[in-house]
Structure 1
Amino acid sequence: MRRRSVVPALLLSLGVAAVPAAPHAAAAAAAAAPLPLTQVVPVPASVRAGGGAFTLAEDAAIHVPAGSPGAAAVGRYLAGILRPSTGYGLPLTTNARREGIVLALTEPGAGNTGAEGYRLQSTPRAVVISAATTAGLFHGVQTLRQLLPASVERELYGLGPWTVAGGTIADRPRYAYRGAMLDVARHFHTVQQVERYIDQLALYKINRLHLHLTDDQGWRIAIASRPRLTAYGGSTQVGGGTGGYYTTAEYQQIVRYAASRYMTVVPEIDMPGHTNAALASYGELNCNGVPRALYTGTAVGFSSLCVPKPATTQFVDDVIREVAAMTPGPYLHIGGDEARVTGRADYVAFVDRVQQIVRRYGKTVIGWHQITGADPAPGAIAQYWGTKGDEEPVAVAAQAGTRLIMSPANHAYLDMKYDEETPIGQKWAGYTEVQKAYDWNPATVVRGVPASAVLGVEAPLWSETVTDSSEIEYLAFPRLPAIAEVGWSPAATHSWASFRQRLAAQAPRWTALGINYYRSPQVPWPWTG
């Protein structure tokens, strides 16, 4: 059991209290004051300052509604964050007392919070987070985390005080789909690395995790009816490393972990191009029947399934059936990009056929925006990754009812370098500093697309140059929070001047969490000693 009195005594024994004030003492004093309620990323829809402030006390409890396992799980999640740093027990209770930290479920429609919004009210007696759903409670908890001192994120005891400014936040997302993509095909990333990224995404209210599971360089998800896909096709990666893959149990572990953070996994099986790992594993998928050699380079556009062959249709059916069965979420991404050696007629026929298969297994099709050059099925979603915004087929499809996820590569691709000195990443879409990642409007990216067609945004991170969590974080932070704000906050709140200040205030939190981030010269980062 933690002995809270030891730490202050140890500090005194070391003479800390007698050390003269350092030049940064004013900054340290300011850090002890409650953070303004507006000092949150993504910025809330509405903030109203109030009197007084809430200070978490040693005997405080977390109150959750009776009869709601979901709300209780959110309460346990919050307690798991707060207990190590505060040293407080923070028991969960189901009584109706309005003191301490209160998680409250409201009637649907009450407070205009929608499916994911929340209301946070801070008074001297309590912080009350109320929402119509447990997803809303979870997002409200992320806001509460950011309003507490950054040291609350550490897994070691801190001194506090754990204070939240008084007032009320009313918040809900601009878009229903707010995603991040991780490419685990070019370089394989372990379950633990993916879970670490999920936790980081959750802090910024991301609710979709798109996993790019297959590509030329590797097949990363076990398919029981096609074991050679992983045994052979998953055995390497860019540069010739040993690769890897997720067993069914491991993939389902990722899905469950994401769900515990109110994040839906979107699996991608990229077809008919980007398929060399499959073509190397099963020769019958090639038109000449001969298996391809494994591939460890980074060029694209050279591979294609042999569309007319019945063996290809059976292969696609087997894969989609099994992936759909182990994925509880509603989406299945079929890729469809850069199929440069697939004939036009074959491409259209393939997209039509695959969409039917996906629908047969109860999932909603997502594909890269090239599928709009075929015939998007009713309900299909296209993911835009272009840079020009003048792609007529995308606009025509959107006008006809196809919904769009916006991932313009020159704004939202996290694998683009910040500048010419960036040690990892790519630059084919140009350099992307944090302001460029922030200053764009999903509703106006593609000319001719009605704003109502935009389902949301996604920040893809391709892994040709990315091998571990430290490199994922270096490219994602600080740009991921920028894109998260684009997807969550009302358009009227969009302000680079405000965002760069709020973003800078995130740095101590990232340090406490052990996140490796890029110190962009565009952001006034605090002194870090």
Structure 2
Amino acid sequence: MAACQPPKKEIDYPPTDLSKNYLIPKPVKVIPTKTAFGLSKNTVIYTSQDDEQFKNVGAFLANKIKTKTGLDINVNSINENNPIAQIIYINQSDSINLKTPESYQLYIKKDSIFLNAKTAAGAFRGIQTLRQLIPEASNDTLTDHPLWLIPSGKIFDEPKFEYRGIMLDVARHFFTIEEVKKFLDILSYYKYNTLHLHLSDDQGWRIEIKSWPKLTQIGGQTEVGGGIGGFYTQEDYKELVSYAAERHITIIPEIDMPGHTNAASLSYSFLNGNGKIIKPYTGTRVGFSTFATQKDTVYAFLDDVIGEIASISPGPYFHIGGDESHVTKKKDYINFVEKVEKIVQKHGKRMIGWDEIVEGNIDSTSIAQHWNTTANALKASENNSKVILSPAIKAYLDMKYDSLSKHGLDWAGFIPVDVAYKWNPETYVEGLPKESILGIEAPLWSETISNIGELEYLAFPRAIGYAELGWSSSKNLDWEDYKKRLANQVPFLQRMSVKYYPTKSVDWED
């Protein structure tokens, strides 16, 4: 292909230094070679032709290049009017140096960029790095057309944890499909691979269950503060799952139980186990509701619910909640968790639950999400179960930044941007082996927020730091270095119209 092109005039690029990038998450290894790749109208993208997903990654990159620069970059085809000057090749590789499914290698030269990855997920993570390396402004002095100069060199990168997630509570306040899609777009830029949706709680039920229609007809009509609520039809949910999958993000559904169940019991009274009359609930108190855990009909109901959601959730996990079930008798709680685990497994999924689930005799394939009790995380590890780290005092995105924060809660304390970043998940729980840690997740509960702007205020910039904690090698984590790179995220955040919290601990770039 290159041999058919006429000789190219050598361009004298100004010197660059790839090691002085502002990439987030920080890559494992960067080797600068001091020249540049000139992205221009004469650039084309080629991908491994025998993998449709690699082609999709190429098309995704071309679309994002156009959004940022205005350039129309061809993918796996030639524009007859523009001679090929530079090639970006996204290559499916079987290199033994690509140690994880999301590992990638970038080789940036003057006339070519090679991105090697074993999987499309790895390639997708690699193009996020490439997107961040494209400068905001073009250089219009070197040729007769604009060039966006990408520093040359090599980048070798892979994630520290296989699970890197955010949880979004759509039960306390409902968020629309378009709002969740925008959130997914931002998360994918920072190499997240999981979005955990909290789909039910006392205040609302947010997903259509065809065999139990009152869950949304009744339970989906309320939210905190008395709003109109809302819900996703199964087609809506499948649209979100597909949109996330295009960004190599897995959506994990959560139906919280046996507590946090007022909206479900309001819809079908036989589910109620607290002995009180059920009324619509729009407050923020927790721990007062429970399923009737001794009724066989409750488990038949859950079999239907879990089955319908599992059938439209291609990811490997189903989250059963399990936290703050204060009015459920302990022996009933244990029996409930063990029975529901079997229902989840029957439908081909692995159970995840908040760390209280380890009170039951859970299977080693089930996963405990540590949010509060250290002993529960250690007990899960002793059971050979994996642990997701979401410690409330470090990782809860709904905590206020400080006493002046417009939104958020403070029961776990304030979490300023630097506090959110300055902890090491690998060593945070004393005695928890690294091999027991599946990854980290930052939950965003929605009692105090009701629209995408308020969501963004709490999530960003803290979620950007959690992305780095989940991806980057612990030895590369340094607040002073990170806050300089964070300051340079402003152009992207502005382009995405993100209403982030402009903490004074960072010298933001204008």
RMSD: 1.9
**What is the identity, as a one-letter code, of the residue corresponding to 2:392?**
A
Q: Distance in 2 between matches of 1:321 and 1:282?
A: 18
The change in CA–CA distance for 1:94 and 1:117 in structure 2 (over 3 A counts) is farther
1:161 deviates by 3.9
SS in 1 for 2:407: coil
User: Could you say which residue in structure 1 is the equivalent of 2:496?
Assistant: 513
1:195 deviates by 0.6
The answer as to whether partners of 2:17 and 2:34 remain within 8 angstroms in 1 is no
The answer as to whether partners of 1:54 and 1:126 remain within 8 angstroms in 2 is yes
Q: Deviations over 1:374-415 (max 9, x none)?
A: 2221200000112xxx63232122122011000111111111
Q: Distance in 1 between matches of 2:481 and 2:491?
A: 18
User: Could you say which residue in structure 2 is the equivalent of 1:101?
Assistant: 88
**What is the identity, as a one-letter code, of the residue corresponding to 2:336?**
F
Structure 2 residue 325 is matched with structure 1 residue 342: no
The answer as to whether partners of 1:414 and 1:459 remain within 8 angstroms in 2 is yes
User: Could you say which residue in structure 2 is the equivalent of 1:127?
Assistant: 113
| Aligned partner (choices 292, 315, 320) of residue 301 of structure 2 | 315
SS in 2 for 1:110: coil
The answer as to whether partners of 2:166 and 2:196 remain within 8 angstroms in 1 is yes
The change in CA–CA distance for 1:85 and 1:203 in structure 2 (over 3 A counts) is closer
SS in 2 for 1:443: coil
Q: Distance in 2 between matches of 1:439 and 1:523?
A: 14
| Aligned partner (choices 207, 215, 233) of residue 193 of structure 2 | 207
1:123-162 equivalences under 5 Å are: 123-150=109-136, 161-162=147-148
1:451 deviates by 1.5
Q: Distance in 1 between matches of 2:434 and 2:99?
A: 21
The change in CA–CA distance for 1:169 and 1:307 in structure 2 (over 3 A counts) is same
Q: Distance in 1 between matches of 2:151 and 2:50?
A: 31
1:312 deviates by 1.1
The change in CA–CA distance for 1:98 and 1:486 in structure 2 (over 3 A counts) is farther
Q: Distance in 1 between matches of 2:97 and 2:208?
A: 45
The answer as to whether partners of 1:150 and 1:512 remain within 8 angstroms in 2 is no
Q: TM-score, normalised by structure 1?
A: 0.89
Structure 2 residue 260 is matched with structure 1 residue 274: yes
**What is the identity, as a one-letter code, of the residue corresponding to 1:333?**
H
**What is the identity, as a one-letter code, of the residue corresponding to 1:519?**
P
**What is the identity, as a one-letter code, of the residue corresponding to 2:401?**
Y
Structure 2 residue 60 is matched with structure 1 residue 77: yes
Q: Distance in 2 between matches of 1:212 and 1:98?
A: 48
Q: Distance in 2 between matches of 1:512 and 1:125?
A: 28
Identity of aligned residues (%): 44
SS in 2 for 1:375: coil
| Aligned partner (choices 156, 160, 164) of residue 174 of structure 1 | 160
SS in 1 for 2:505: coil
The answer as to whether partners of 2:166 and 2:443 remain within 8 angstroms in 1 is yes
1:64-463 equivalences under 5 Å are: 64-93=47-76, 99-107=86-94, 109-150=95-136, 161-287=147-273, 292-386=278-372, 391-463=374-446
The change in CA–CA distance for 1:281 and 1:442 in structure 2 (over 3 A counts) is same
Q: How many residues align?
A: 485
User: Could you say which residue in structure 2 is the equivalent of 1:156?
Assistant: none
Range 245-254 or range 504-513, more displaced: 504-513
1:36 deviates by 4.6
The answer as to whether partners of 1:37 and 1:47 remain within 8 angstroms in 2 is no
**What is the identity, as a one-letter code, of the residue corresponding to 1:169?**
I
The answer as to whether partners of 2:37 and 2:150 remain within 8 angstroms in 1 is yes
Q: Distance in 1 between matches of 2:25 and 2:274?
A: 52
User: Could you say which residue in structure 2 is the equivalent of 1:468?
Assistant: 451
Q: Distance in 2 between matches of 1:268 and 1:478?
A: 25
1:259 deviates by 0.3
Structure 2 residue 26 is matched with structure 1 residue 39: no
1:419 deviates by 0.4
1:486-497 equivalences under 5 Å are: 486-497=469-480
The change in CA–CA distance for 1:111 and 1:98 in structure 2 (over 3 A counts) is farther
Q: Distance in 2 between matches of 1:446 and 1:376?
A: 21
The answer as to whether partners of 1:301 and 1:339 remain within 8 angstroms in 2 is yes
SS in 2 for 1:48: strand
Q: Deviations over 1:301-325 (max 9, x none)?
A: 1100010012211111111111111
Q: Distance in 1 between matches of 2:158 and 2:77?
A: 26
The answer as to whether partners of 2:16 and 2:35 remain within 8 angstroms in 1 is no
Q: Deviations over 1:228-254 (max 9, x none)?
A: 000000001000110000001000000
1:196 deviates by 0.5
1:449 deviates by 1.5
Q: Distance in 1 between matches of 2:104 and 2:180?
A: 27
SS in 2 for 1:127: strand
Q: Deviations over 1:66-107 (max 9, x none)?
A: 121101101111111112443322111179x99322111101
Q: Distance in 2 between matches of 1:213 and 1:160?
A: 47
Structure 1: where are the runs of 5+ without partners? 1-31, 153-158
Q: Distance in 2 between matches of 1:469 and 1:507?
A: 18
The answer as to whether partners of 1:38 and 1:44 remain within 8 angstroms in 2 is no
**What is the identity, as a one-letter code, of the residue corresponding to 2:470?**
G
The answer as to whether partners of 2:165 and 2:194 remain within 8 angstroms in 1 is yes
Q: Deviations over 1:94-143 (max 9, x none)?
A: 79x99322111101x43334200111111111222111111111001100
**What is the identity, as a one-letter code, of the residue corresponding to 1:332?**
F
Q: Distance in 1 between matches of 2:70 and 2:418?
A: 39
Q: TM-score, normalised by structure 2?
A: 0.92
Q: Distance in 2 between matches of 1:209 and 1:332?
A: 12
